[in-house]
Structure 1
Amino acid sequence: MGGGIELVVLDMAGTTVRDDGLVEQSFDSALDAAGVRAGTAEHQRAQRYVWETMGQSKGEVFDALFPGEPDRARRANAVFERRYDELMAHSCEPIDGAEKAMSSLRDAGVRVCLTTGFARGTRDRLLERLGWRELVDLVVGVEDAGRGRPHPDMIQTAARHFGVVDPRRVAVAGDTGYDVLAGVRSGASVVAGVLTGAHDARALTERGATHVLESVADLPAVVQD
């Protein structure tokens, strides 16, 4: 792998894992449980905020939606996680070519880390259902790093774990503007936005993507000599 890339940091839902609207459906269930009724102006504002902040820690999203109401935010987050788990049990598939891409990167000596805004329990169940425990070198969540996207903490945590001192030796890929912004803030030399998830090419480019790819399957070619 060229450019001295030693570590690739990949988002999960929408980037390596097919989303098919599961995250948005789960947010709708959580909003309903929190008393935010569909069709109201409040619901529309909440949906817009959820879309704009895709990639951020889900707990942080609910804290922002319900400021000063920590119990309401926690209840909404619990409903989100429960509903996502239910949906995931019936629909949990990798993005086409994602597993091959991760395997080829590791075969070439590049470390592969997955990052996610999901809580630890949801993340672990997702990994088990996909059978990815042995496919990647590391998984980092918000609990491990301290702050979620758009902060670069999860990427930097992965880099420290593997002793990668120079951020230019890191490549990042994600499907949301927050994924891209976190990558830019980390100093990664490759920050790729992929078109298999929440945001379109314009949104990814506006946040500073160095590359816009059809999917993560195209990433190995970007970091290869």
Structure 2
Amino acid sequence: MVSHMTNQHLDLVVLDMAGTTVADGGLVEQAFGKAAERLGVEPGSADHAEKLQYVRDTMGESKITVFRALFGDEEKAQLANVSFEQAYGELVDGGRIAPLPGAEEAIGRLKSEGRTVVLTTGFARTTQDAILTALGWHDLVDLTLCPADAGRGRPYPDMVLAAFLRTGAVDGVHRIAVAGDTAYDMLSGVRSGAGLVAGVLTGAHDEPTLKDAGATHVLPSVAQLPDAIAAFEAMAR
């Protein structure tokens, strides 16, 4: 009976960054605008509006994948990605991001309960590091992952599975909890086999979108995640 209860513990928690634990105040759209302009997409044009809408619709996906879809050509996609990362990095350095309310406290509580916490992103490593530095978060969690660290970005399960393999924190994927603010986060969690896949309403997508993508829970914010995990474990007993 004891081992059965132990196996219900969600001892690996994989959290998204922008929109889930980090408030970036629409910086993705601003940085995209700068990157698109560099590639000759006229601000205010129908082409710009169409591309910006695609960026909104694919929030959470690996950014290089988004730019490949938008520009078709690999060289252009790489240039757009570099331009985006530079623009986003400059905005981050300008003090334009902050932890979402309750995020640091939630991570602290999860860790105090003996859980391993991993932060993931759809951004490149340079941007992820810029965010971690700006927030003073380099030592906050056990591991941070970007798409290049894992193979593919969301909606593939690679980052969640990389967290599972690299941390060795749990003996099965059913003992992973995943939380994010986009449909892509939910899909990656479901596809990894995670036991709990929580959508939060502080970012890109609304409750129906998160549920349609497979969310097992929808929470007002990541601040409610520790309680949701505790309730899941109590039910599993």
Bucket of the pairwise TM-score, normalised by the shorter protein = over 0.9
Alignment match, 1:149:
154
Shift of 1:162: 2.0
- % same residue: 54
SS of corresponding position for 1:143? helix
Q: 2:145 matched to 1:158?
A: no
CA distance in structure 1 between the aligned counterparts of 2:34 and 2:207, rounded to whole angstroms: 28
| 2:30 aligned residue | 25
Contact (CA 8 Å) 2:25, 2:97: kept in 1 or not? no
Task: Please point out which of 81, 89, 105 is paired with 2:85.
Answer: 81
Q: What is the distance in 2 between the residues matched to 1:37 and 1:199?
A: 27
Instruction: Provide the C-alpha distance between the structure 1 equivalents of 2:21 and 2:208, rounded to a whole number of angstroms.
Output: 20
The C-alpha deviation readout for 1:138-176, integer Å capped at 9, x for no partner, is 001111101000000000000011223411100000011
The structure whose Rg is larger is 2
Other structure's SS at 2:177 match:
strand
Once the two structures are TM-superposed, the CA of residue 78 in structure 1 deviates from its matched residue by 1.2
Task: Structure 2 unaligned segments of length 5 or more: list them.
Answer: none
RMSD: 1.4
Aligned to 2:12: 7
TM-score normalized by the length of structure 1: 0.95
CA distance in 1 between counterparts of 2:163 and 2:14 reads 8
Distance 1:204 1:110 in 2: 25
Aligned to 1:126: 131
Deviation for aligned residue 1:74: 1.4
The DSSP-based 3-state class of the residue aligned with 1:223 is helix
Does the residue aligned with 1:192 lie in a helix, a strand or coil? strand
2:99 — aligned with what?
94
State how far apart, in whole Å, the 2-side matches of 1:131 and 1:49 are. 32
Contact map agreement 2:92 2:130 (CA 8 A) in 1: no
Q: Which amino acid in structure 2 is aligned with residue 136 of structure 1?
A: V
Partner of 1:191 in structure 2?
A: 197
The residue matched to 1:39 in structure 2 has which SS?
coil
* Alignment partners' CA distance in 2, 1:40 and 1:10: 36
Q: Are 2:51 and 1:46 aligned?
A: yes
Letter in 2 for 1:162: T
CA contact (8 A) 1:19 1:197 kept: no
User: Counterparts of 2:39 and 2:207 in 1: how far apart (Å)?
Assistant: 33
Q: Normalising by structure 2, what TM-score?
A: 0.91
Alignment-derived partner of residue 172 in structure 1: 178
Q: CA deviation at 1:8?
A: 0.3
1:40 Cα deviation from its structure 2 partner: 2.7
Q: 2:117 aligned with 1:116, yes or no?
A: no
When the two structures are aligned, how many residues end up with a matched partner?
A: 224
Aligned partner letter, 1:176:
T
Indicate which of 62, 66, 69 corresponds to 2:71: 66
1:75 & 1:161 partners in 2: Cα distance? 31
Does the 8 Å CA contact 2:35/2:80 hold for their aligned counterparts?
yes
CA distance in 2, matches of 1:96, 1:70: 38
Separation in structure 2 between the aligned mates of residue 44 and residue 80 of structure 1, nearest angstrom:
17
Contact 2:201–2:219 under 8 Å retained in 1: yes
Q: Distance in 2 between matches of 1:202 and 1:40?
A: 31
